[in-house]
Amino acid sequence: MKSVHHPYAGWQGQVPDEAHLPMVQNLAELWQVNSLTSALKSLSPHFSVTVLALANSEAYADEVGFGVDAPLFCREVTLSLDGRAVVWARSVCHRHSRYWLPILDCGTEPLGHRLFDGSLPITRSAFEYALVPAMHPMLPQALAAALPVAELGARRSTFWWGEDALLLTECFLPAIEEYL
């Protein structure tokens, strides 16, 4: 499998406990929620999705070995409250996935609507958590360059539809703190 190399591999099965990062403590409730879409909508009635990418992609080193084999297809979005991006998310599946490709091609509809409406025969792995460097290559350059922090709190999990996997990574952007 071809992957884009980056030395970061700090995903773990528990929420990071770095006390020096107030954002980690403030995110306590959001780290664990099943549907981040629903949780964000409860913080503001002005929720929106901006699609940044819907295209073929190579795997980042952090994505290798999670049931999503290359070649990949990805959907990258920002989730916004009141017009401010509060989460960046990347969903990846096999480029020829018969199940996930139509799900990811949902425009500005939140992916969470489709994942959690009860209509799909899916299961979800446990969450993994990390403090991801703001300059990690998976983050869009324009977004990363504008961040006032060195690390972002992030979570990820894998959704399974039979043998077909979808890896969802969600990074909390600094503007989320205004709503916590």
User: Do residues 56 and 67 touch, judged by C-beta distance below 8 A?
Assistant: no
What is d(CA 129, CA 17) in angstroms, rounded to the nearest whole number? 11
What is d(CA 112, CA 54) in angstroms, rounded to the nearest whole number? 16
Strand 123-124 to strand 47-57: parallel, antiparallel, or no bridges (unpaired)? unpaired
What is d(CA 11, CA 14) in angstroms, rounded to the nearest whole number? 9
- pLDDT tens profile 122-180: 999 999 988 888 777 777 776 766 777 778 889 999 999 999 999 999 999 989 988 98
What pLDDT is stored for residue 67 in this prediction?
60
Q: Say which residue, 39 or 132, is predicted with more confidence.
A: 39
